[in-house]
């Protein structure tokens, strides 16, 4: 338990929980009961574990903390998108988004508080890095958004995307544990085919995804297919330039056989020319992909401008003329700063000041 006198109970492995229960004379079946409360039923207090004795609940309370996030604010966009701000146990604020569409809902969750990569078009990148989220904090976001989906739309979550605050592959162990908990039959039981993990492109960790045969879909936030353009908007690219990224993605495809998605944010005069489209075509010759073209969403203090719809369609047409699958993705929730690149973990007061 890493020497911590009172760790969060949800940071324990099943083996550690089993060892603790054995040490206080409890039967092995208690491990499954407690795990079911934590991961299958979404219980958020010891008091709620009603099939445990009061004595055992008191022992758990005395031995382990129970870090639950609290909803800080909720905003609803004109298009029905809901942004939720959550206050974590240590005072950190993160944001998650529920996106309704037709007869389904998608949860966009955060993997870190802030982000260290500093992408110049992204509000989260401007914050800098605070800390990684725990697997429990990732799962809590899914539980909470699933409840909101039931409340507002009377349906469970259809999909989960790790496209909120932070870079998931820089929090790999906790993200993988969260995916296991979300997909396990003894957890939430959500199919891994309904989960998408989005990354700016960490070559070593993309290879790790392939080696670990992670079943979630992979989405690459590429945004430029040459080092000259990508360095300008994604500073991290200077550490791992495009050729290294291509090599890792080739490895990923060879090892998994899976097609992945390229997310491409179109910025006026930066990456939206016919030459940029041809560079993207060259990049995509290396593996099967589908492409989402994304409109830029304004971020306070950032000077980028979005490409016009005519420019976006011309860019799309060049790609489609070479038989690539391309969608122009409509931004959702931009009027409440809930769209791609706008999450900043603000308090309610900070939102009002904007």
Which residues are known catalytic residues? 95, 340
Q: State which H helix or E strand residue 31 sits in.
A: helix 29-35
CA–CA dist 246, 252 (Å, integer): 10
Query: Is the separation of the CB atoms in 164 and 109 below 8 Å?
Result: yes
For residues 201 and 146, is the Cβ–Cβ distance under 8 A? no
46, 61 in Cβ contact below 8 A? yes
The residue whose two tokens read 């971020």 is 299
State how far the Cα of 84 lies from the Cα of 240, in Å rounded to an integer.
33
> Given the DSSP bridges, would you call strands 195-199 and 159-162 parallel, antiparallel or unpaired?
parallel
End-to-end Cα separation, the chain, in angstroms: 43
Residues ≥6 apart with Cβ < 8 Å to 12: 1, 20, 64
321 CB neighbour count, 10 Å cutoff: 10
Read out DSSP for 51-112? TS-HHHHHHHHHH-B----EEEEEEE-TTS-EEEEEE-TTS-EEEEEEEEETTEEEEE--SE
CA distance 275 to 38: 52
Nearest residue to 180 via CA among 155, 231, 209, 214: 214
Asked if 17 and 25 touch (Cβ cutoff 8 Å), the reply is no
Task: Round to whole Å and give the CA distance between 18 and 280.
Answer: 51
């Amino acid at each position: 338990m890493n020497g911590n006198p009172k760790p969060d109970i949800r940071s324990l492995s099943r083996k550690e929980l089993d060892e603790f229960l054995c040490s206080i004379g409890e039967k092995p079946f208690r491990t499954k009961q407690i795990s079911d409360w934590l991961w299958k039923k979404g219980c958020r207090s010891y008091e709620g574990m009603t099939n445990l004795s009061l004595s055992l609940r008191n022992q758990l309370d005395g031995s382990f903390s129970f870090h639950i996030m609290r909803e800080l604010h909720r905003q609803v966009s004109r298009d029905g998108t809901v942004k939720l701000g959550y206050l974590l146990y240590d005072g950190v604020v993160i944001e998650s988004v529920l996106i309704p569409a037709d007869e389904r809902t998608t949860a966009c969750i955060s993997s870190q508080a802030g982000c260290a990569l500093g992408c110049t078009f992204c509000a989260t990148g401007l914050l800098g890095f605070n800390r990684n989220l725990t697997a429990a904090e990732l799962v809590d976001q899914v539980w909470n958004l699933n409840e909101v989906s039931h409340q507002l739309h009377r349906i469970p979550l259809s999909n989960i995307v790790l496209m909120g605050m932070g870079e998931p592959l820089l929090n790999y162990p906790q993200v993988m544990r969260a995916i296991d908990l979300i997909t396990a039959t003894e957890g939430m039981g959500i199919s891994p085919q309904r989960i998408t993990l989005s990354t700016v492109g960490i070559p070593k960790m993309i290879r790790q995804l392939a080696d670990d045969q992670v079943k979630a879909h992979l989405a690459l936030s590429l945004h430029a297919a040459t080092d000259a353009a990508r360095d300008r908007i994604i500073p991290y690219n200077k550490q791992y330039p495009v050729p290294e990224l291509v090599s890792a993605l080739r490895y990923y495809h060879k090892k998994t056989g899976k097609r992945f998605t390229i997310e491409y944010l179109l910025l006026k005069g930066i990456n939206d020319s016919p030459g940029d489209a041809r560079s993207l075509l060259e990049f995509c010759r290396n593996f099967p992909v589908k492409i989402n073209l994304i409109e830029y969403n304004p971020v306070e203090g950032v000077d980028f401008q979005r490409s016009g719809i005519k420019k976006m369609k011309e860019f799309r047409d060049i790609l489609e003329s070479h038989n690539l699958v391309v969608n122009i993705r409509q931004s959702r929730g931009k009027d409440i700063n809930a769209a791609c690149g706008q999450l900043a973990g603000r308090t309610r007061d900070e939102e009002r000041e904007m």
